[in-house]
Structure 1
């Protein structure tokens, strides 16, 4: 059983008076059409799906999903359209009610994105606790897969935030976001999740009274993490690392560091989008107006050879993010 990767999505806002995990929520529903590009599922034996031992019915329901279209329409009401592109449509909406689900001893085909989101953020009872957005529910109805997800209130994607808040004159805001992105990337790796498409459109910035908070969305290009080489790269090829363009292969750590470097580059040069081909041809270059520390971090992320890139842990200790560690780094400029 497989599901194509073309997505149409709706978002659902919690109705007045409803609460999930002690705070009001916004849900997002993603619908996968089955007429294009085959996607992935994970076949899970029933015995490997927790059924007792302190595991809640909510967690069981989350993993197994539902197949009743009537239940879906009874629980969620679609409202006004918020966003649309060639492959995704986002609508506001409202949750009406909840349902229950039980195991029956069968083997289950679970969409990979469901597995990844559960590994990354946990169940509905943990809404808002991790950088990854939470999956609240999902349905397999007719010829579509519907994912019901948390949508943080007062948030927008990083692309919009960059255009409105970031520029070369102020690196401090980019540092706040980069620190959180590094923490999120390391946390996902520990949980066995490989996102594979970290870009401004897949990162929400949740605005709070204190500092902007990073939330990771859209695990549709992701897979289970391992240290093997990968030969298929879904997602944004304009940001693909040099090793994929040259040899058609990549590994999780170096490509994640490359994508984080691209994010910092775009956060501090909002005049244009990054292109790997343009960067390799030196049509796009690191701005000399940036601080020496920032230039060094970008070069350590955007090294053309994957073995020359810093690791995620090394980046956490970089002097641009931690000025007190500057003495243990040797700056180099090309």
Structure 2
């Protein structure tokens, strides 16, 4: 058989030629197989009995599958990482937004409950505004205190929450026994708010009233002994209440005592606990935070005691009450420039000498003052 007929009929050629013909057609089938691998499950590849099984084909399939899995594993962690980052960012934004809402909510609570009006007083640690409670038109005093100038550290409010010392102390004074008749009851704390850089204290505002300093002026610059006795007795009772609760006011003076004038009998009220602190009556403090001009003599030596200091300050209040235009100065008193009026009753003069004793150890206790002959 010649060469041309052999090419037309490959079956009639020898075995070597037949094998060569099959090897020439193999690359075409392999290319189709690769295409098939990319689109069909692995099982379909093994179902063709006519396809020879070789190590090259297996390695190609395994390599392709591994590469595909690696690409999927690399892509998925990136997606998860991005998701976590976005979630963290979202949480931070929500936290910031929540904090802003809390501050705004506190302001809204105050504005929803109270109306603030004009400023009528100013102290060393805050400004005081008038206002009223919306629900019943109750007059209130609203004290604004900058957090940056709060003089003392925070204290426990009695429920485990740390609050500014003035707030904690006024919360202790809500006891009804302190507000009974015959006492110079502290004005009550109604609400307080922590707003931004300020603390707001909302307190009752007795009306009509004025501080003792101005009340004395309206009476011609001095009071009669009988009226002074009433006010002093009320102050001593309240000072004892504070002492029993280990509260040291530190700044009892005519400007921090309100006088309600709605009846013929004056009713005193103690205010401004801005420099008050918690201390036992016989403890020794190395710092005095009250008004320096009225400080007890020992304060100039670098120490003071709550009990004896309070007695001294009550003596100063009485001096300014019974002496015409009698602005008291501790230094002037120590130098002999201030004298107790000799026209006052002997019992009253003795009361003065007891309170204004220059030796803190010889001043009487508050309980002893209540039994003094002048107050009987």
- TM-score higher than 0.5: yes
Correspondence for 1:229: 284
**Contact 1:25–1:153 under 8 Å retained in 2:** no
Correspondence for 2:42: none
SS of equivalent to 1:198: coil
Q: Any unmatched runs of 5+ in structure 1?
A: 19-23, 50-106, 323-334
Correspondence for 2:274: 220
Name the CA shift for 1:314/1:220 in 2 (closer, same or farther; >3 Å).
same
Query: Which has the larger strand fraction?
Result: 1
SS of equivalent to 1:295: helix
1:286-301 correspondence to structure 2 within 5 Å? 286-301=340-355
Q: Any unmatched runs of 5+ in structure 2?
A: 1-123
1:286-322 Cα distance to aligned partner (Å, 9 max, x none): 1111111111000000000011111111111111111
SS of equivalent to 1:320: helix
Query: TM-score, length-normalised on structure 2?
Result: 0.62
Q: Structure 2 residue aligned with 1:119, among 147, 165, 172?
A: 172
Name the CA shift for 1:299/1:231 in 2 (closer, same or farther; >3 Å).
same
**Contact 1:239–1:274 under 8 Å retained in 2:** yes
2:188 matches 1:134: yes
Which stretches of structure 1, 4 residues or longer, exceed 3 Å deviation after superposition?
A: 34-39, 126-130, 166-169
1:140-155 correspondence to structure 2 within 5 Å? 140-155=194-209
1:266-277 correspondence to structure 2 within 5 Å? 266-277=320-331
Name the CA shift for 1:112/1:36 in 2 (closer, same or farther; >3 Å).
closer
1:67-78 correspondence to structure 2 within 5 Å? none
Correspondence for 1:318: 372
Q: Distance in 2 between matches of 1:294 and 1:282?
A: 19
Name the CA shift for 1:197/1:275 in 2 (closer, same or farther; >3 Å).
same
Q: Structure 1 residue aligned with 2:302, among 233, 236, 248?
A: 248
Name the CA shift for 1:169/1:188 in 2 (closer, same or farther; >3 Å).
closer
Q: Structure 2 residue aligned with 1:6, among 125, 138, 141?
A: 125
Q: Distance in 2 between matches of 1:136 and 1:127?
A: 14
Q: CA RMSD in A?
A: 2.2
Q: Structure 1 residue aligned with 2:139, among 7, 26, 33?
A: 26
Name the CA shift for 1:198/1:166 in 2 (closer, same or farther; >3 Å).
farther
Q: Distance in 1 between matches of 2:298 and 2:272?
A: 24
Query: Which has the larger helix fraction?
Result: 2
Q: How many residues align?
A: 249
Query: TM-score, length-normalised on structure 1?
Result: 0.69
Q: Distance in 1 between matches of 2:161 and 2:174?
A: 21
